[in-house]
Amino acid sequence: MSDTAEYTPPAIWTWNKESGGRFAAINRPISGPTHEKELPIGKHPMQLYSLATPNGVKVTVMLEELLAMGYSGAEYDAWLIRIDGNQFGSGFVEINPNSKIPALMDRSGPEPVRVFESASILMHLAEKFDAFLPKDAKTRAECLSWLFWQMGSAPYLGGGFGHFYAYAPIKIEYAIDRFAMEVKRQLDVLDRHLAKNEFLAGRDYTIADIATWPWYGSLAKGVLYGAAEFLQVHEYKNVIRWADVIAARPAAKRGRMVNCAWGEPANQLWERHDASDFETKTQDKIGAAS
């Protein structure tokens, strides 16, 4: 295969099961469950089914921040959903018909409430606990504008740049250049805004920051895709300053560990069912005990 080969799309597209590179085995052009599998249910009001991708980290950071503020109703069980076909189990598809993590079941009321899409989960929790979402109309609008900016921009970073730079079976110059240009433009948008604002909505830390940090904060700190030098992320000094401030928050540190199944064992807490799990059930502790 060559990135210079001429390609003429056929009149009707057909699915090639071998396409998709690293994720070929789990990609398909239809929705719905592939197998029957019930989801576990823990003891807490919030049941989270997720993986510590940037979208998953948004929600665990939010829940840890709420707990740090004293909202006991935000106690949660976090169940690991590996993206290896488990997202197509019947129980998970029932919560999220789009088969993407994260998915939340709020069991605090008389009837369970399902919430899917990471921004929807953040808004649900922010409104439920009256936290991290500004009350005055102007600042609330700013917060929501940046929240949905992130939701609209991240596909260029993840599904676009990340896929073609890190995961595609061949390196296609045009695709990498196209998405690298857009990602650098997005970083510049953030950098210019953060030159004048401590956080995205102004002076206060909000769900806009919680949503954006796992993606663009991680990119600016060289965590995502090993692309720090390629994208020259050191140029975005205001994004780096903002990312460092959030990374230093204890709740953000904990949230990044939950449902994490890669990296240093000390930073992997595959499932979280109690606050003490951070001290006793990370993979380094489990490995030492076995």
Where in the chain are the domains? 15-290
Mean pLDDT of 184-196: 98
Q: How confident is the model at residue 2 (pLDDT cuts 50, 70, 90)?
A: very low
Determine the pLDDT at residue 6: 81
Sorted by sequence, the CB contacts under 8 Å of residue 54 that are 6+ apart come out as 154, 158, 214, 215, 218, 224
- Check whether domain 15-290 has CATH 1.20.1050.10, yes or no: yes
Per-residue pLDDT for 290 more than 80?
A: no
Query: Cβ(126)–Cβ(191) under 8 Å?
Result: no
Query: Cβ(7)–Cβ(60) under 8 Å?
Result: no
Distance separating alpha carbons of residues 37 and 128, to the nearest angstrom: 30
Determine the pLDDT at residue 287: 78
Q: How confident is the model at residue 9 (pLDDT cuts 50, 70, 90)?
A: very high
Mean pLDDT of 84-102: 94
Please give the mean pLDDT across all residues of the chain: 94
User: What pLDDT, in 10s, does the model give residues 205-254?
Assistant: 999 999 999 999 999 999 999 999 999 999 999 999 999 999 999 999 99
